[in-house]
A and B are shown apart, each in its own frame.
Chain A
Amino acid sequence: MSHTNDYLEQLENEAIYILRETAAQFEKPALLFSGGKDSIVLVHLALKAFRPGKFPFPLVHIDTGHNFPEAIEFRDKLVNQIGEKLIVGNVEESIKKYNLKETAGRFPSRNALQTYTLLDTIQENEFDACIGGARRDEEKARAKERIFSVRDDFGQWDPKLQRPELWDILNGKVQKGHNVRVFPISNWTELDVWNYIQKYNIELPSLYFAHDRECIVHQDKLVATSQFIQPQEGDTVVVERVRYRTVGDMTCTAAVPSQAATIQDIIDDIIQTRISERGQTRLDDQLSEAAMEDRKKQGYF
């Protein structure tokens, strides 16, 4: 044979297939764009799936109001570059509208509140499918999820009653009011994502690369000081060379000490590190072993 597909090509083929299947089977899909590396890769894959045509869906960003300015800046630049539509749902607005209570503590996560905004945005725009960049290797509840994951009208995931999903035949038919979460890069690992970014030299927000940043040391984790997190008395404040391994909220995403200036450096970092992505960087997943499972049951993606 003239060529064999290596694993990155296999993963890419699978993802493009899923994106096209989503476009074909749903009336109003949307691509959830967070500004993080996984959703940036999704946009890159969508370009391959649909160009020279336009995307058959808008990008949707659920803005928690606690985002890194670098991530928002990058988002706007990318949207402008590709000339596709962006819809922003604001968590601030949901908090006012529903009189939601923020999580207590110094490093509040708006992860749970985000769900309200997401479900509202889905309803307002009548989206019947939301494409997300979640991966099965991230977390053990995610490891169980289908590629086309059906949610009821409350956005809830029922992990004990998932539809069979046979071969690569994807059944996107749902009853009215239900919708589907679609995960094209389910089978990618963190390292696969980075290898792919390197292979195609995909541009990322500067946060992912080593830079000097003022951080508070909190239980062995480095949390950047910002308008949301101010140092208090008794805090150890350091300026360290760090990078972000995941890009979430400024309030609950930890930076990791790193000298990695290039994508290759980051890949070397990840190969050597013995701590998982979420374990190293998310303050909100450590609350309980089933934190993610519970959030997903409530409509989180």
Chain B
Amino acid sequence: MNTLRFITAGNVDDGKSTLIGRLLYDSDSIHTDQLGVLQKQTKQEGVDIDLSLITDGLRAEREQGITIDVAYKYFSTKKRKFIIADAPGHEQYTRNMITGASNSDLIIILVDARNGITEQTKRHASVGSLMGIKKAIIAINKIDLLNYSEQTFNQIQSDFETIKKELNYDEVIYIPVSALVGDNIVRKSENTPWYTGKALLETLESVEINTTKDLASRFQVQWVIRPKDEKNHDYRGYAGLVLSGTYKVGDLVTILPSKIETKIVKIEKNLEEINEGVAGDNVVLHFEKDVDISRGDTVVLSNQLPLESNQITTWISWLDNASLQVGKTYLLQHRFKNVRVKVQEVNRKWNVNQWQFTEGDTIQLNDIAQVTLRTNQPLFYDAFDKNSKSGNAVLIDETSYNTVGALMFL
């Protein structure tokens, strides 16, 4: 059994919380004591339980009836385990949505059938695509309020197909639902006989998850294990995560930035020797040569070298209240390696309203743009759309240490 991580995004009143509540409730994932609290909180007359209350975690959220930060919810069926990142819809909290999106395999975008595709829909779709999500479900909600109109469904589908051309999704699935009533959420509804696809839950259970197993092999040294005690005097292991591809005992590898070539002589995982480590594994590599390797160094197969540059063009999603300053120095965290960078130039901005690139060199909170960075030492990386594990980084302010930007290398 594997785990699908997905994010839900939608406007404030699109019924996102109700949809999640429905998924959890109908799949028996809510505990009775939690239900008791919900019954207490439900104030609407004639409604037994307000399903939307399941996801709001903070006092301020309950008070304002909005989601401010991502809440993670867990449920499982016989086929799969699920981690839901319930993300805020408000533009003001887009950076929290980005946090949720960055760790998701799939995005569910809620669209109110009565309103169709809105600017928010476009923003959510942009963010999901930009952060590397490859699968999208467009849940066309409140279809019951339009008499289960097939025509509306088709119209929204065709509208999204048009905007999708600018995005990077591999697969987009359209489902007509009513979160409130339960149509096509856990079971297929008789109210939409014209809909030939699967219900939402079955779709979530069966959608294929992209992996980085078949990509070029990438490994960064996270932690050096050198006990230096009597028993392990000669032990020198390089612990880290296999970001993509496979590493086998006997592989000829190149250490970057030193460009020294050596051979893998031993691979350990969880204190046991293994023959190969694949994407997702935390392994400890041992090399034939006793070379100087430290945290942040990259280890690649010698026939699969990555890009190398100290001038990088990249997508940036800006997350800070203070705007980005061209010429200012920031820290760039490329997973286990930190370098200093200067933003040289803003190339172009993605305008969600106009659905096209525009000029402009100020970048403010929630802006999406393409910029050129200069680093104080070369980075070894891949383009984000080739390898989502070695092609991303974050930008950190050098004085506040806040994470101010998400980078997806071009």
Task: Kindly identify, within residues 171 to 187 of chain A, every residue whose CB is under 8 Å from any CB belonging to chain B.
Answer: 171, 173-175, 186-187
A124 at interface by CB-CB < 8 Å: no
> A49: which B residues are within 8 A, CB to CB?
223, 239, 282
B235 at interface by CB-CB < 8 Å: yes
What sequence of 0s and 1s flags, for each residue 225-246 of chain B, a beta carbon within 8 Å of any chain A beta carbon? 1110001100100010100000
> Complex formed: what's the CA distance from A141 to B69 in Å?
11
Q: Whose C-beta in chain B lies nearest to the C-beta of A159? A: B58
- Pick the interface stretch among A109-117, A250-258, A260-268, A271-279: A271-279
Task: Kindly identify, within residues 258 to 298 of chain A, every residue whose CB is under 8 Å from any CB belonging to chain B.
Answer: 274-276, 279-280, 289-290, 293
Task: Kindly identify, within residues 273 to 312 of chain B, every residue whose CB is under 8 Å from any CB belonging to chain A.
Answer: 276, 278, 280-282, 295
Which residues in A have some Cβ–Cβ distance to B below 8 Å? 1-7, 10, 12-13, 16-17, 20-21, 23-24, 47-54, 136-137, 140-141, 143-144, 146, 159-160, 162-169, 171, 173-175, 186-187, 189, 274-276, 279-280, 289-290, 293
> Complex formed: what's the CA distance from A13 to B200 in Å?
29
> A51: which B residues are within 8 A, CB to CB?
271
A169, A175, A280, A290: most-surrounded residue (chain B CB, <10 A): A169
> Complex formed: what's the CA distance from A293 to B282 in Å?
33
Asked whether A141 lies within 8 Å of B99 as measured between CB atoms, the reply is no
> A171: which B residues are within 8 A, CB to CB?
333, 394, 396, 401, 403
Q: Whose C-beta in chain A lies nearest to the C-beta of B272? A: A48
Contacts known (A140-B71, A141-B57, A143-B72); A163 close to B403, Cβ less than 8 A = yes
Asked whether B227 lies within 8 Å of A52 as measured between CB atoms, the reply is yes
Task: Kindly identify, within residues 396 to 410 of chain B, every residue whose CB is under 8 Å from any CB belonging to chain A.
Answer: 396, 400-403, 406
Asked whether A166 lies within 8 Å of B34 as measured between CB atoms, the reply is no
> Complex formed: what's the CA distance from A49 to B388 in Å?
25
Task: Kindly identify, within residues 25 to 79 of chain B, every residue whose CB is under 8 Å from any CB belonging to chain A.
Answer: 31-34, 37, 41, 56-60, 68-74
The 3 closest A-B CB pairs, nearest first, are A279-B33, A140-B57, A173-B401
> Complex formed: what's the CA distance from A187 to B123 in Å?
27
Asked whether B392 lies within 8 Å of A163 as measured between CB atoms, the reply is no
> A10: which B residues are within 8 A, CB to CB?
2-3, 280
> Complex formed: what's the CA distance from A48 to B282 in Å?
10
Asked whether A164 lies within 8 Å of B223 as measured between CB atoms, the reply is no
Query: Contact residue range for chain B?
Result: 35 or more
Contacts known (A10-B3, A164-B95); A21 close to B222, Cβ less than 8 A = yes
Q: Which of B32, B34, B227 contacts A53 (CB 8 A)?
A: B227
Instruction: Jot down 18 A-B pairs with beta carbons below 8 A, ordered by A.
Output: A4-B2, A7-B1, A7-B2, A13-B280, A21-B222, A23-B223, A52-B231, A54-B227, A136-B74, A159-B60, A163-B403, A164-B319, A165-B99, A169-B392, A175-B400, A275-B33, A279-B34, A280-B33
Which residues in B have some Cβ–Cβ distance to A below 8 Å? 1-3, 31-34, 37, 41, 56-60, 68-74, 81, 83, 95-96, 98-99, 102-103, 131, 213, 222-223, 225-227, 231-232, 235, 239, 241, 270-271, 276, 278, 280-282, 295, 319, 331, 333, 335-336, 388, 392-394, 396, 400-403, 406
Asked whether A173 lies within 8 Å of B281 as measured between CB atoms, the reply is no
Smallest Cβ distance from B374 to chain A, in angstroms? 21
> Complex formed: what's the CA distance from A127 to B361 in Å?
41
Asked whether B333 lies within 8 Å of A24 as measured between CB atoms, the reply is no
Contacts known (A141-B58, A187-B83); A276 close to B34, Cβ less than 8 A = yes
> Complex formed: what's the CA distance from A138 to B231 in Å?
41
> Complex formed: what's the CA distance from A141 to B58 in Å?
6
> B73: which A residues are within 8 A, CB to CB?
137, 143
> Complex formed: what's the CA distance from A173 to B394 in Å?
12
Q: Which of B56, B72, B282, B392 contacts A166 (CB 8 A)?
A: B392
> A280: which B residues are within 8 A, CB to CB?
33
Asked whether A189 lies within 8 Å of B74 as measured between CB atoms, the reply is yes
> Complex formed: what's the CA distance from A85 to B74 in Å?
35
> Complex formed: what's the CA distance from A20 to B223 in Å?
6
> Complex formed: what's the CA distance from A6 to B209 in Å?
13
